[in-house]
Amino acid sequence: MQAISKTRKFEVILEMLEKGYTVTLLCAIAGVTRSGYYKWIKRHLVPSEKQLKGAKIKKILECHKK
């Protein structure tokens, strides 16, 4: 049996939150820390300032080409 990656555990936690379960409960069941979950959310789901600036620049360049 293969071990489940932390990334997959975090994805499942995110899905289960929509069903009304708490982060604390889901992290305990999955055997991961809440802080680890929130760090994963910040890295993977919340765009960084650099990503936001890049998107703005891309939009400006696209408008300039028209």
Q: Which two tokens stand for residue 59?
A: 């939009």
Convert the pLDDT of each residue in 2-61 to its tens digit: 889 999 999 999 999 999 999 999 999 999 999 999 999 988 877 777 777 887 888 887
Q: What span, in angstroms and rounded, lies between the C-alpha atoms of 36 and 24? A: 12
Q: Looking at the chain, how many residues does it have?
A: 66
| pLDDT in the model for residue 39 | 95
Domain ranges of the chain: 6-65
Q: What span, in angstroms and rounded, lies between the C-alpha atoms of 22 and 16? A: 9
